[in-house]
């Protein structure tokens, strides 16, 4: 294993650990007691972390591929943001974008 492979592996592990840490912030027994806003944020984070964990577990993965995936998700959500005028949906999409940006 050369230094480039090691660097790639460490970067992927850092992203994976961050996703696991975010998922670990929520106690499964207390999720039902969250406010609507907190529950929405939980669902956003859970979805993003699951997608991140799925892509970091792929064989022969590259850190650059993960970053490209995150950028693609941000771009998709920014396009969706431009297409909506509903205030609640705008807020939700902005939260989604902010959560994805945490992984850059």
Report which of 22, 12, 14 is spatially closest to residue 46, judged by C-alpha positions: 22
Q: What is the pLDDT of residues 32-76, one digit of tens each?
A: 899 999 999 999 999 999 999 999 999 889 999 999 999 999 999
Beta carbons within 10 angstroms of residue 89's beta carbon:
13
Helices 36-56 & 63-82, crossing angle to 10 degrees? 140
Give the predicted TM-score (pTM) of the model. Answer: 0.93
Helices assigned H by DSSP within the chain: 3-24, 36-56, 63-82, 87-101
The pLDDT of residue 82 is above 90: yes
What 8-state DSSP symbol labels residue 31?
G
The tokens describing 39, both together, are: 């529950």
What percentage of the chain has pLDDT greater than the value 90?
90
What 8-state DSSP symbol labels residue 83?
T
Determine the pLDDT at residue 20: 97
């Amino acid at each position: 294993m050369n230094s480039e492979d090691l660097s790639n592996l460490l970067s992927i592990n850092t992203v994976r650990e961050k996703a696991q840490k975010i998922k670990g912030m929520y106690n499964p027994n207390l999720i039902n007691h969250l406010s609507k806003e907190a529950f929405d944020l939980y669902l956003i984070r859970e979805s993003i972390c699951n997608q991140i964990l799925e892509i970091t577990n792929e064989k022969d993965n590259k850190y650059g591929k993960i970053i490209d995936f995150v950028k693609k998700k941000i771009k998709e959500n920014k396009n969706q943001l431009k297409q909506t005028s509903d205030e609640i949906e705008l807020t939700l999409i902005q939260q989604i974008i902010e959560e994805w940006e945490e992984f850059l």
